Amino acid sequence: MVANWTREEILLACDLVSRNNWQGLRANTTQVQELSRLLQAAKIHPPETRHRGFRSPSSVQRKTYDIATQHPKYHRKPTRGNQLDAIILFEFLDDTARMQEEASSIRKRIENSIHEIDQK
């Protein structure tokens, strides 16, 4: 079983891309490494659906490029990604500030749930 990227996960990756001038980010960047750790700690997917490289920096890098290559100003061949990548990208393009705010809210909710688990 594979853990497909959820809307919330893609939204968080798209937030990184939007803040990087609509360019994909490399796995060795701080932002990608932080998002990878956050997604790995989140309880979005049950453990049995998580493969060995689940939301690794490399997979987050790939997702940021999947999103960036769907941008209307990108003129080369896009990566494959999934259909939600383009949908969420266009939501960001329509109202970047609102979507960045939604990403911030999702990030805080995940961080709070991780903190609650750590407190138990």
Query: Each residue of 53-65: pLDDT tens digit?
Result: 999 999 999 999 9
pLDDT for position 110: 95
pLDDT category of residue 2 using cuts at 50, 70 and 90: confident
Cβ atoms of residues 89 and 81 within 8 Å: no
In the chain, the amino acid numbered 33 is: Q
Q: Is the pLDDT of residue 116 over 80?
A: no
State pTM to two decimals.
0.93
pLDDT for position 10: 98
Q: What SS3 state is found at 94?
A: helix
Q: Is the pLDDT of residue 115 over 80?
A: no
Query: Each residue of 72-94: pLDDT tens digit?
Result: 999 999 998 999 999 999 999 99
Query: Domain extents for the chain?
Result: 7-119
d(CA 63, CA 59): 6
